Amino acid sequence: MIGLLQKLERGIDAILQPVVVLGMLALIGVITLQIISRVFFNAVPWTEEIARFLLIWITFLGAALAFQRGRHIAVTFVVDTLPLGIKKVARILACLIIIGFMLSLVIIGYEYMQVQSFQKSPSLRWSMYYVYAIMPISAALMLFYALIDLLELVTNRVPAPTAEPPI
Protein backbone atom coordinates (compact mmCIF):
# COMPACT_ATOMS: atom_id res chain seq x y z
CA MET A 1 0.00 0.00 0.00
CA ILE A 2 2.66 2.50 1.03
CA GLY A 3 4.76 1.54 -1.99
CA LEU A 4 1.84 2.36 -4.28
CA LEU A 5 1.36 5.72 -2.56
CA GLN A 6 5.06 6.49 -2.93
CA LYS A 7 4.85 5.69 -6.66
CA LEU A 8 1.82 7.96 -6.94
CA GLU A 9 3.77 10.66 -5.11
CA ARG A 10 6.66 10.36 -7.58
CA GLY A 11 4.18 10.43 -10.48
CA ILE A 12 2.59 13.64 -9.21
CA ASP A 13 6.08 15.09 -8.78
CA ALA A 14 6.94 14.13 -12.36
CA ILE A 15 3.92 16.10 -13.56
CA LEU A 16 4.16 19.02 -11.15
CA GLN A 17 7.81 19.86 -11.77
CA PRO A 18 7.46 20.48 -15.53
CA VAL A 19 4.24 22.43 -14.92
CA VAL A 20 6.10 24.80 -12.58
CA VAL A 21 9.00 25.12 -15.04
CA LEU A 22 6.60 25.85 -17.92
CA GLY A 23 4.80 28.36 -15.72
CA MET A 24 8.10 30.11 -15.02
CA LEU A 25 8.94 30.18 -18.73
CA ALA A 26 5.49 31.57 -19.52
CA LEU A 27 5.92 34.19 -16.80
CA ILE A 28 9.27 35.24 -18.27
CA GLY A 29 7.70 35.42 -21.75
CA VAL A 30 4.72 37.49 -20.59
CA ILE A 31 6.89 39.92 -18.63
CA THR A 32 9.25 40.26 -21.59
CA LEU A 33 6.28 41.02 -23.84
CA GLN A 34 5.04 43.54 -21.29
CA ILE A 35 8.39 45.35 -21.19
CA ILE A 36 8.84 45.37 -24.97
CA SER A 37 5.29 46.56 -25.58
CA ARG A 38 5.64 49.38 -23.04
CA VAL A 39 8.95 50.58 -24.42
CA PHE A 40 8.35 50.30 -28.15
CA PHE A 41 4.57 50.18 -28.61
CA ASN A 42 1.39 50.69 -26.66
CA ALA A 43 1.27 48.58 -23.50
CA VAL A 44 -0.56 45.28 -23.86
CA PRO A 45 -3.15 45.48 -21.06
CA TRP A 46 -3.56 41.77 -20.29
CA THR A 47 0.14 41.02 -19.66
CA GLU A 48 0.13 42.35 -16.10
CA GLU A 49 -2.91 40.27 -15.22
CA ILE A 50 -1.52 37.07 -16.75
CA ALA A 51 1.81 37.64 -15.00
CA ARG A 52 0.03 38.05 -11.65
CA PHE A 53 -2.04 34.89 -12.15
CA LEU A 54 1.00 32.87 -13.24
CA LEU A 55 2.96 34.06 -10.22
CA ILE A 56 0.17 33.00 -7.87
CA TRP A 57 -0.09 29.54 -9.42
CA ILE A 58 3.69 29.04 -9.57
CA THR A 59 4.03 30.08 -5.93
CA PHE A 60 1.43 27.62 -4.66
CA LEU A 61 2.57 24.73 -6.87
CA GLY A 62 6.20 25.45 -5.99
CA ALA A 63 5.26 25.38 -2.30
CA ALA A 64 3.72 21.93 -2.81
CA LEU A 65 6.89 20.73 -4.56
CA ALA A 66 9.07 22.15 -1.81
CA PHE A 67 6.90 20.46 0.81
CA GLN A 68 7.16 17.11 -0.94
CA ARG A 69 10.94 17.41 -1.07
CA GLY A 70 11.29 18.59 2.52
CA ARG A 71 12.66 21.96 1.44
CA HIS A 72 10.56 24.25 3.63
CA ILE A 73 12.32 25.97 6.48
CA ALA A 74 12.34 23.86 9.62
CA VAL A 75 13.91 24.53 12.98
CA THR A 76 14.92 21.07 14.14
CA PHE A 77 17.70 21.64 16.67
CA VAL A 78 15.45 20.71 19.61
CA VAL A 79 13.98 17.63 17.94
CA ASP A 80 17.44 16.51 16.80
CA THR A 81 18.62 16.34 20.42
CA LEU A 82 15.73 14.11 21.54
CA PRO A 83 16.05 10.34 21.96
CA LEU A 84 14.99 8.32 18.91
CA GLY A 85 11.57 7.26 20.28
CA ILE A 86 10.56 10.76 21.33
CA LYS A 87 11.92 12.18 18.07
CA LYS A 88 9.60 9.85 16.15
CA VAL A 89 6.62 10.89 18.29
CA ALA A 90 7.48 14.57 17.68
CA ARG A 91 7.63 13.98 13.93
CA ILE A 92 4.30 12.13 13.99
CA LEU A 93 2.76 14.99 15.98
CA ALA A 94 4.16 17.50 13.46
CA CYS A 95 2.63 15.49 10.59
CA LEU A 96 -0.73 15.43 12.33
CA ILE A 97 -0.63 19.20 12.83
CA ILE A 98 0.28 19.70 9.17
CA ILE A 99 -2.53 17.38 8.08
CA GLY A 100 -5.03 19.31 10.20
CA PHE A 101 -3.83 22.65 8.84
CA MET A 102 -3.87 21.49 5.22
CA LEU A 103 -7.33 19.96 5.63
CA SER A 104 -8.63 23.26 6.96
CA LEU A 105 -6.89 25.10 4.11
CA VAL A 106 -8.55 22.80 1.56
CA ILE A 107 -11.97 23.50 3.06
CA ILE A 108 -11.48 27.25 3.51
CA GLY A 109 -9.82 27.57 0.10
CA TYR A 110 -12.69 25.77 -1.58
CA GLU A 111 -15.25 27.98 0.16
CA TYR A 112 -13.31 31.12 -0.76
CA MET A 113 -13.01 29.90 -4.34
CA GLN A 114 -16.80 29.51 -4.49
CA VAL A 115 -17.41 32.98 -3.05
CA GLN A 116 -15.02 34.59 -5.55
CA SER A 117 -16.44 32.70 -8.54
CA PHE A 118 -18.71 35.62 -9.42
CA GLN A 119 -15.84 38.10 -9.56
CA LYS A 120 -14.25 38.71 -12.98
CA SER A 121 -10.69 39.77 -13.65
CA PRO A 122 -10.46 43.38 -14.87
CA SER A 123 -8.69 42.91 -18.19
CA LEU A 124 -9.42 39.39 -19.40
CA ARG A 125 -12.82 39.04 -17.71
CA TRP A 126 -11.90 35.57 -16.47
CA SER A 127 -13.70 34.16 -13.47
CA MET A 128 -11.53 34.52 -10.38
CA TYR A 129 -12.64 30.99 -9.54
CA TYR A 130 -9.71 29.73 -11.63
CA VAL A 131 -7.20 31.98 -9.92
CA TYR A 132 -8.31 31.02 -6.40
CA ALA A 133 -8.61 27.32 -7.29
CA ILE A 134 -4.90 26.86 -6.69
CA MET A 135 -5.28 27.32 -2.93
CA PRO A 136 -7.31 24.14 -2.27
CA ILE A 137 -5.43 22.27 -5.01
CA SER A 138 -2.00 22.93 -3.53
CA ALA A 139 -3.26 22.33 0.02
CA ALA A 140 -4.70 18.98 -1.10
CA LEU A 141 -1.33 18.05 -2.63
CA MET A 142 0.49 18.95 0.58
CA LEU A 143 -2.13 17.06 2.59
CA PHE A 144 -1.48 13.98 0.44
CA TYR A 145 2.29 14.35 0.89
CA ALA A 146 1.87 14.75 4.66
CA LEU A 147 -0.29 11.61 4.82
CA ILE A 148 2.44 9.67 3.02
CA ASP A 149 5.04 11.06 5.45
CA LEU A 150 2.85 10.00 8.37
CA LEU A 151 2.39 6.49 6.97
CA GLU A 152 6.14 6.20 6.41
CA LEU A 153 6.79 7.21 10.01
CA VAL A 154 4.17 4.87 11.46
CA THR A 155 5.23 1.87 9.36
CA ASN A 156 8.98 2.61 9.62
CA ARG A 157 9.23 2.69 5.82
CA VAL A 158 11.94 4.90 4.41
CA PRO A 159 10.87 6.89 1.35
CA ALA A 160 12.26 5.66 -1.95
CA PRO A 161 15.33 7.62 -3.07
CA THR A 162 14.79 10.21 -5.76
CA ALA A 163 17.08 10.88 -8.69
CA GLU A 164 16.83 14.59 -8.00
CA PRO A 165 20.16 16.44 -7.78
CA PRO A 166 20.69 18.61 -4.69
CA ILE A 167 20.04 22.30 -5.19
Alpha-carbon distance of 10 to 12, in angstroms, equals 5
Q: Does the residue 93 lie in any domain?
A: yes
Q: Is 10 exposed, middle or buried (0-12, 13-18, 19+ CB in 10 A)?
A: middle
Supply φ then ψ for residue 76, to 5 degrees.
Answer: -115, 10
Q: Which pLDDT belongs to residue 38?
A: 86
Q: Does the residue 150 lie in any domain?
A: yes
Q: Does the residue 135 lie in any domain?
A: yes
Given a cut of 50, the residues of the chain with pLDDT beneath it are 160-167
Q: Does the residue 138 lie in any domain?
A: yes
How many structural domains does the chain have? 1
Alpha-carbon distance of 55 to 110, in angstroms, equals 20
Domain that holds residue 92: 2-155
* DSSP output for 24-73: HHHHHHHHHHHHHHHHHS---THHHHHHHHHHHHHHHHHHHHHHHTT-S-
83-119: pLDDT as tens digits: 888 888 888 999 999 999 999 999 999 999 999 888 9
Q: Which pLDDT belongs to residue 105?
A: 95
